[in-house]
Amino acid sequence: MTDNVRTFGYGAGAQSAEERNKVMRNTYWLLALSLLPTVAGAWLGVATGITQALTGGLGLVVFLGGAFGFMYAIEKTKNSSAGVPVLLGFTFFMGLMLSRMIGMILGFSNGAQLIMTAMGGTAGVFFVMATLASVIKRDISGMGKWLFVGALVVMVGSIVNIFVGSTAGMMAISVAVIGIFSAYMLYDLKQILDGGETNYISATLRLYLDLFNVFQALLALLGIMGGERD
């Protein structure tokens, strides 16, 4: 499992409550929309098996190259009309990359149940973090640097484990990813609420990565611990 490196610098700006609410509202709408291409990409990947050959180093190169290429393009187009289509293209690509793991989980007799459990768990984490972000009054922007370091560590660990193939390592990395990106979710939501993130496309990208990583890690953990063969 690999994870995406996050950037933690936000351009702080004075925003009215109305403007902050607008950014949050647009972010939620775009985040919901972004899940549709993700599902479409995952379905296409499972149906065609197009990603089955992307194992080991090859899969890592394709994933990192595509993910970072898309993220660079999103940041370049976030203030133009092309920003939303580029973001949706990215979420389709991420769904396609996720399809290999989903295909493996569906190989279990309870695979569909595991996927639904991971989805429910991810939604639950988002609800808790959104609630906390709305009630926490103090500034938590200092978390950003520590979370960035944590994300780097788990990314390196994930890359190493691709070649080592340790089940225990995968479980440890999955637990760490769930913790780090759940905290990132809180951090990103709080930044939007406090006016630290003023672009809803950038905000959506950050929250999408949080959700994607938590879901992927939960799915991996459930597959290892609860997968049942016929």
Which comes out higher in pLDDT, residue 1 or 113? Answer: 113
Q: Could you report the per-residue pLDDT of 132-188, keeping only the tens digit for each?
A: 999 998 888 888 899 999 999 998 998 888 888 788 889 999 999 999 999 999 999
What's the rounded Cα separation, in Å, for the pair 126 and 220? 18
pLDDT above 70: residue 205: yes
What's the rounded Cα separation, in Å, for the pair 194 and 213? 24
Query: What's the confidence (pLDDT) of residue 230?
Result: 65
Position 40 confidence tier, pLDDT thresholds 50, 70, 90: very high
What's the rounded Cα separation, in Å, for the pair 125 and 178? 9
189 close to 208: Cβ distance less than 8 angstroms: no
Please provide the average confidence, as pLDDT, over all residues in the chain.
87
What's the rounded Cα separation, in Å, for the pair 28 and 124? 16
**How many helices and strands (H and E) does the chain possess?**
7, 0
Q: Could you report the per-residue pLDDT of 60-93, keeping only the tens digit for each?
A: 788 889 999 999 999 999 999 899 999 999 999 9
Query: What's the confidence (pLDDT) of residue 228?
Result: 73
Query: What's the confidence (pLDDT) of residue 186?
Result: 95
